[in-house]
A and B are shown apart, each in its own frame.
Chain A
Amino acid sequence: MAHFAKPAEGSWTEHYPELGTAPVDYTDSIDPAFFEAEREAIFKRTWLNVGRVERLPRTGSYFTKELPSAGPGFSVIVVKTKDGSVKAFHNVCRHRGNKLVWNDYPHEETSGTCRQFTCKYHAWRYSIDGDLTFVQQEDEFFDLDKSQFGLKPVRCEVWEGFIFINLDPNAQPLAEYLGPLAKGIEGYPFNEMTEVYSYKAEVGSNWKLFIDAFAEFYHAPVLHQKQYTPEEAAKIMQYGFEALYYELASPHGMISTWGGQSPPADLSMVKPMDRVLRSGLFGPWERPDVIEQLDQLPPGVNPTRAPQWGIDSWHFFPNFMLLIWAPGWYLTYHYWPTTVDKHIFETSLYFVPPRNVRERLAQELAAVTFKEYALQDSNTLEATQTMIGTKVVSEFPLCDQEILLRHLHKVTGDYVNKYRNNGAKEAHNGSAR
């Protein structure tokens, strides 16, 4: 039955014995108290990707990022400073707590370029390095030492052009947190892929359920079968899905999978438009020069060096997924919980800028195709959330091809338990950080 070799233990899951093989309890996706603990244990203490450095082209370029995941109102300003480094600050004025950077609607994210940040309320001004530089009617204040009222900094570090923040000032360095899986991808030409398509959705499910949906491809032959002819769909269903490779480096994990659609072996498998534009779900079939000219891919990309390789997908805990597609483009997923049963889903596709209309249209088809699938994927989630919420069934059997889901729920539980056992006690004792 198996088309690709599994580890000596007989399965990917048993290769990581700490995971167990028992059914998984999904109470972690419906319990409001568990969600509040996740906010404290995970979203206030782990490295969160908030975007790419290309969004900050020059000194003073900034964007704001709402972090409902940490609690209502949390918002950071991310800015490129004079020395070229990227810094992050809590988006709150030190005078009387107004939100510092926003446009017409305070809860909406914004971006731009500025020389300084000026509060709308009383015109207090901050340099892009976060120092308080101007106080309106300063002599009306009492012994105000401006050096003590700079913006509250947020930890901010960059890996391969991906900007991460961490609300925990004592967090370990980013590179150490991301670990060996990230190390293995370093050198991939992300910086060349600056043609961006971004999408956003409000999804009526717990954040982990959408990661579940994208962390396995076991669903693909079933949920997405209507794009194929009935004969083709039946063949694909019978074949099922097996990955080439899985690797866990807790709290993160990755899957490497085959994918024969770029170009497909049999052109009759794909739509007429795909055949004309030589593109589709797996992206444009023609590799960009920057990929063609690479000596070799970084060792962590297509780690088994399989000729039938199609996609690698990394889950960087807690809420960032990165997919590198064989034809030479990448995409990102982010999941920002707002309540136990709702989250904001964001996704972006990144291509090498097209040189002509033909290349541009090939990318357009890939982006349009992606959205068709994303709509199908997101629609199953609300149904799942509702039914798990009934508690008629709480424990669910996960198969070997769902190892990344098993891992996600285990790691989440471990973080929350550790926080409940230690962190909460620490917080209760008022230990200053």
Chain B
Amino acid sequence: MALPAEFADLEPYLEWDLATEPERYAKRLASTMAEMQAFYDVAFPRMEELIAYCDKFPLDDLPTDARTLMHLMQSLIMVSFPVEAWKQPRVPDSGAAWVELIKEPVI
């Protein structure tokens, strides 16, 4: 998948191009803090530009590259808790608890 030229610096993080929450959550749990921090450090400062780019299109009809950028932003939200708050991939004090997403709007 080729990203728009202005977002080429995100190409190393295309493994976060994941359409559903269960995929993004599993990827988060399987990642190290260093991996998530690297993704966050490159992508988070670009959020406003990413949103502006995607919002040139209707939400229910995003072209393929905007869809990929959207998935990257959704993954960025997923890693924001480990990076900004918890300092670990798992939710602290959540032990063996497991909450499964069973329905979501998928882009």
Contact = CB atoms under 8 A, between A and B. Distances in A.
A358 B77 contact: no
Contact of B97 (A198, A277, A378): A378
Interface in B88-104: 91-104
A200 B102 contact: yes
Contact of A273 (B84, B93, B94, B105): B84
Contact of B93 (A201, A223, A355): A223
Interface string B26-67: 000000000000000000100110010011000100100000
Contact of B48 (A276, A356, A369, A374): A276
B77 A195 contact: no
A175 interface: no
Contacts of B78: 368
Q: What class of interface size applies to chain B in its complex with A?
A: 35 or more
B73 interface: yes
Which one of A198, A271, A273, A354 has the highest number of Cβ atoms from chain B below 10 Å of its Cβ?
Answer: A273
Interface string A263-289: 000000001110011000000000000
Contacts of B47: 276-277
- Consensus secondary structure, chain A interface: helix
Contacts of A203: 97
A358 B91 contact: no
B86 interface: yes
A107 interface: no
B99 A226 contact: no
B80 A271 contact: yes
Nearest to B56: A357
B74 interface: yes
A375 interface: yes
Contacts of A200: 99-100, 102
A203 B44 CA distance: 35
Interface stretch (A148-156, A240-248, A298-306, A359-367): A359-367
B8 interface: no
Contact of B81 (A197, A348, A355, A368): A368
Contacts of B77: 273, 277, 361, 364-365, 368
Interface in A194-223: 195-203, 223
B40 to A, nearest CB: 9
Given A195-B105, A357-B55, A360-B59, 9 more contacts: A198-B104, A272-B44, A277-B77, A357-B62, A357-B73, A369-B81, A371-B99, A376-B93, A376-B94
